[in-house]
Amino acid sequence: MKFNRNTRFERYFIEALSQSLTPQLMQRLVRGIIPNYDLHERSGFPENIPIPKGDAAKQIYMDVMSQNLLTHFIEILIDVDKNGVMGRPVSIRRLPEIIGELEEAGLYYDERYRAIIENEQRTKTVGWGVLREGFHYEFAFLLLDIVSNSKLVRKYSQAEIEKEYGEVKRMATNLVENREGRIWRWEGDGALAAFYFGNKNEQATLVGLELLLEMFMYNLLDCPFDEGLNIRLVLHTGPCQFFHKVGEVQNETLNRLSQMESNYSEPNSLTISPGVYTDLGTKMERFFHHVEISPRNFLYRYKLRWE
């Protein structure tokens, strides 16, 4: 989320830096998000002339704003206020006012992830309000596909299809967002969900398991279709370049996810890649069985079945 320029916020930010930090420490902190940042070079002050604190703070404000790094720098300030620098306590003035301004803009600091993210009660975006256009991040991706879509649309009316597919979308969206994920794409008979924060592989796996169980109960009790609504789920983790227009997002991680769905998934099951499996721990691993692709290549699958 781009934080719009705000005179009051600008004043709080400059006062926080100029009243709490030396220019040398300001520069050191900025280098955490802008490598090799040089205050003298940026401000135009000669190397042999000390930069006044106020001028240093104003320059940093302009630079982090111009690169859409303001929230990332505030995360650094919050960490410094809590933990100090090199074992030395540092109190950041005006931090409560800065956080208050963020909250007015629909953002908040999440203690679990030590990150500023969007307030989901006010807005939900595909980048959680913090991911930057064109940058690479590590995601867990969950792909959902409704089985035998073409047969269903021939057998049932458009109104029936829209209603029942809408139920799948409602269930999937609620489960994904309840575990900090985002639906990136929804196309008729399938969806792509992304997870970024915390233990993303575990959270995405839990969503997959929960959705299979909810769909089982829905088919048992509520679905009017004779054959029920069956789904396939696949889950893979890896790096991906982020774009707010998610239709532009294509890379090897998503290609691998698509191959898993096309070649190795089964109805009413969740198929996961080795990178996801190794993150699950023994309690969750026991629900999955090996799927041999080749002597050295395995996937792992959970499938609903009667014991």
Q: Look at residue 246 in the predicted model and tell me its pLDDT.
A: 84
User: 288 and 302 in contact (C-beta within 8 Å)?
Assistant: yes
Q: At what angle do helices 7-20 and 95-104 cross, to 10 degrees?
A: 150
The amino acid at 80: V
| Structure confidence at residue 304 (pLDDT) | 79
Give the closest residue to 267 by CA, choosing from 140, 182, 163, 149.
149
Residue 173 structure tokens: 């969206």
Q: Are 256 and 293 in contact (CB under 8 A)?
A: no
d(CA 191, CA 63): 38
> How far, in Å, CA of 240 to CA of 247, rounded?
13
Write down the pTM of the prediction. 0.86
Pair 174, 272: CB distance under 8 Å: no
d(CA 92, CA 274) in angstroms, rounded, equals 44
User: 272 - beta bridge partners?
Assistant: 235, 300
CATH architecture observed for domain 136-303: 2-Layer Sandwich (3.30)
Q: Give domain limits for the chain.
A: 7-118, 136-303
Pairwise CA distance, residues 130 & 260, whole Å: 29
Query: Going residue by residue through the chain (307 aa), what tens digit of pLDDT does each one get?
Result: 555 556 899 999 999 999 999 999 999 999 999 999 999 999 999 999 999 999 999 999 999 999 989 999 999 999 999 999 988 999 999 999 999 999 998 899 999 888 898 888 888 899 998 888 888 999 999 999 999 999 999 999 999 999 999 999 999 999 999 999 999 999 878 999 999 998 999 999 999 999 999 999 999 999 999 999 999 999 999 999 999 888 777 789 999 999 999 999 999 999 999 999 999 988 888 899 999 888 888 999 999 765 5
Residue 285 makes CB contacts below 8 A (sequence gap 6+) with 277
Tokens representing residue 30 in the block? 């900025």
